[in-house]
């Protein structure tokens, strides 16, 4: 057995061409994109698309400079530095075939907490034409009640006081554009790639709110020199397991400390609103549209809501993975009905979309048994997901005087989820910014179901709908005496 090699530029020579088909001299790639948040998702999605564009079409002007801002991102930053920015994308098909590909589009990396000024200086340089973001739903610091930017969030407040040591993305962006303005340099595009509604509009509004409060003189310049396209991103990217790392190591005798695992499906639709140009992304099947809203809503309310529903309901039944729930008839029958009778009728459709076909495709993707997507990943931070994924369907159905049965059942199950115990008496962990509050109100709801709703600013307009409140109470009392499975059987007949 030859010595084990660590993944880096030099050692890739030993890999077969099928894994590293590099036709391009990496030294010739120039940076054109800075990406904040080097999550698994970014590495399976945008960095993968850029890799394909570089390798297949010799696009040399849009290499990626990665920046991490969170303390929890130190590990990925160190690994990428060790591996010269290289990592393996592991694609698992439903039939069990596994594809490996070394992705080489990330060519520079910065770690904000270590040296914020270095990151700010780098992003202030005019070769960066696009600053893209995956900072997750909670990175936007939106107020749960109003959906507006939360200027009173402790980190946001801290940033507005200590400008040169920012923690939030908004603190960084302000410094970056301040420098560009002072130096007479051009602005650039800010491209959000997160699962939030109108992600471009939202980041723009939050950022401009922050600037208005902290550096109002910058605002007119930003209005002239930046753009914020909305986008819809889609690729299921799971948590990497030790087994995935081992299998790659044993097969190729090369050690990648953090490969990324994803499904074969991938989609990216973006509004064509790039103030400083963009790569020829059409060449790698990225779609550009005038209005993203119908695509984004369909994705958030079918796929993401579907995920959360299987996550919550499945956890209550003791399941651990998405495919286990998706292959259980009782659960999938419920989800299909929810999508068919409550989601699709409340969505605005376009000629370019076939929502019935999308529903089927999503459910098939959930069934892929090799992805091993954990329900704990799905349920993480669900208090910032459910309001985006499920509430809009509920509100639309309420205002159309249509059925809300399935969505309300989900809300009752979501309340029960905060008991933290499944139907077999086993406890599970809850990871949520609002967990203290929600665990407390879920406990109070044992006496009075309405307390889960009323004590919580989360529920916004829903609390004004008596029809919803009455149904919620009904389903919650059912679920307090029935198991989730028994509840589903009741719903499904
Ligand atoms: C999931 C998403 O975190 C979640 O709630 O629904 O991460 C989902 O897997 C991706 O959006 C798929 O594109």
Q: Is 12 in the pocket of ligand 1 (CB under 6 A)?
A: no
Q: Measured in angstroms, how far is the CA atom of residue 311 from the centroid of ligand 1?
A: 11
Per-residue pLDDT at 320: 98
pLDDT of residue 356: 93
Q: Is the CB of 51 under 6 A from ligand 1?
A: no
Number of neighbouring beta carbons within 10 Å of residue 27: 8
- Would the CB of 378 count as within 6 Å of ligand 1? yes
Average pLDDT over every residue of 279-288: 97
384 Cβ closer than 6 Å to some ligand 1 atom: no
234: phi then psi, degrees, rounded to nearest 5 = -155, 110
Q: Whose CA is nearest to atom 13 of ligand 1?
A: 234
Confirm or reject: Cβ of 195 under 6 Å from ligand 1: yes
The ligand 1 atom at the shortest distance from the C-alpha of residue 306 is 6
| Residue among 103, 107, 123, 112 at smallest CA distance from 43 | 103
CA–CA gap between residue 159 and residue 170 (Å, rounded): 8
Which of 151-155, 212-216, 421-425 has the lowest average pLDDT? 151-155
* Residue 52 pLDDT greater than 90, yes or no: yes
Residue 455 pLDDT greater than 80, yes or no: no
pLDDT tens, 244-275? 999 999 998 899 999 999 999 999 999 999 99
Kindly indicate the confidence band of residue 12, based on its pLDDT and cuts at 50, 70 and 90. confident
Q: Is the CB of 232 under 6 A from ligand 1?
A: no
Average pLDDT over residues 134-140: 85
Q: Residue 456 above 60 pLDDT?
A: no
| E strand intervals along 60-192 | 63-68, 87-92, 98-103, 106-111, 130-133, 189-192
- pLDDT digits 0-9 by tens, 93-106: 999 999 999 999 99
User: Which residue among 92, 195, 265 has the greatest number of ligand 1 atoms within 8 angstroms of its CB, and so is best to mutate?
Assistant: 195
Integer Cα distance of 150 and 156 in angstroms: 8
Kindly indicate whether the ipTM for this predicted assembly is greater than 0.95, answering yes or no: yes
CA-proximal residue: ligand 1, atom 10 (nearest): 236
The predicted-structure confidence for 319-366, as pLDDT tens digits, reads as follows 999 999 999 999 999 999 999 999 999 998 776 779 999 999 999 999
Reply yes or no on whether the pLDDT at 196 is more than 70.
yes
Distance CA 172, CA 152 (A): 18
Distance of CA 106 from the midpoint of ligand 1 (Å): 23
Give the pLDDT score at 19. 81
């Amino acid at each position: 057995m030859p010595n084990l090699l660590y993944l880096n530029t030099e050692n890739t020579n030993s890999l077969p061409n099928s894994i590293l088909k590099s036709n391009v001299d990496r030294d010739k790639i120039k940076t054109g994109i800075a990406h904040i948040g080097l999550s698994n998702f970014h590495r399976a999605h945008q960095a993968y698309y850029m890799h394909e564009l570089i390798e297949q079409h010799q696009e040399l002007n849009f290499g990626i400079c990665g920046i991490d801002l969170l303390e929890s991102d130190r590990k990925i930053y160190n690994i990428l530095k060790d591996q010269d920015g290289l990592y393996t994308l592991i694609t698992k098909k439903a039939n069990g075939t596994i594809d490996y590909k070394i992705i080489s589009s990330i060519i520079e990396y910065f770690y904000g907490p270590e040296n914020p000024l270095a990151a700010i200086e780098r992003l202030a340089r005019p070769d960066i034409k696009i600053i893209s973001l995956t900072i997750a739903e909670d990175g936007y610091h939106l107020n749960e009640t109003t959906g507006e930017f939360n200027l009173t969030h402790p980190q946001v407040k801290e940033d507005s006081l200590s400008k040169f040591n920012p923690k939030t993305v908004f603190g960084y962006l302000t410094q970056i554009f301040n420098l560009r303005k002072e130096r007479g340099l051009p602005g650039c595009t800010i491209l959000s790639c997160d699962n939030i509604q109108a992600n471009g509009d939202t980041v723009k509004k939050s950022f401009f709110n922050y600037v208005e409060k902290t550096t109002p003189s910058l605002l007119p310049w930003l209005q002239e020199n930046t753009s914020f396209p909305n986008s819809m991103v889609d690729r299921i990217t799971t948590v990497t397991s030790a087994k995935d790392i081992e299998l790659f190591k044993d097969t190729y005798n090369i050690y990648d400390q953090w490969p990324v695992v994803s499904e074969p499906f991938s989609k990216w639709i973006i509004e064509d609103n790039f103030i400083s140009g963009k790569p020829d992304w059409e060449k790698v099947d990225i779609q550009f549209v005038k209005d993203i809203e119908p695509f984004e809503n369909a994705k958030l309310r079918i796929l993401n809501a579907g995920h959360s529903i299987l996550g919550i309901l499945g956890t209550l039944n003791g399941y651990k993975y998405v495919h286990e729930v998706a292959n259980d008839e009782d659960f999938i029958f419920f989800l299909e009905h929810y999508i068919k009778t409550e989601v699709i009728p409340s969505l605005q459709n376009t000629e370019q979309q076939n929502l019935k076909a999308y529903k089927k495709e999503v459910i098939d993707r959930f069934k892929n048994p090799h992805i091993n997507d954990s329900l704990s990943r799905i349920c993480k931070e669900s208090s910032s997901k459910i309001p985006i994924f499920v509430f809009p369907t509920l509100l639309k159905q309420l205002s159309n005087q249509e059925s809300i049965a399935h969505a309300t059942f989900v809300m009752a199950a979501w309340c029960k989820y905060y008991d933290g115990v499944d139907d077999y008496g086993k406890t599970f962990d809850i990871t949520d910014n609002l967990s203290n509050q929600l665990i407390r109100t879920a406990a109070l709801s044992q006496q009075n179901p309405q307390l889960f709703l009323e004590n919580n600013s989360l529920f916004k307009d829903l609390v004004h709908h008596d029809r919803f409140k009455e149904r919620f109470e009904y389903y919650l009392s059912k679920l307090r005496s029935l198991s989730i499975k028994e509840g589903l059987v009741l719903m499904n007949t």
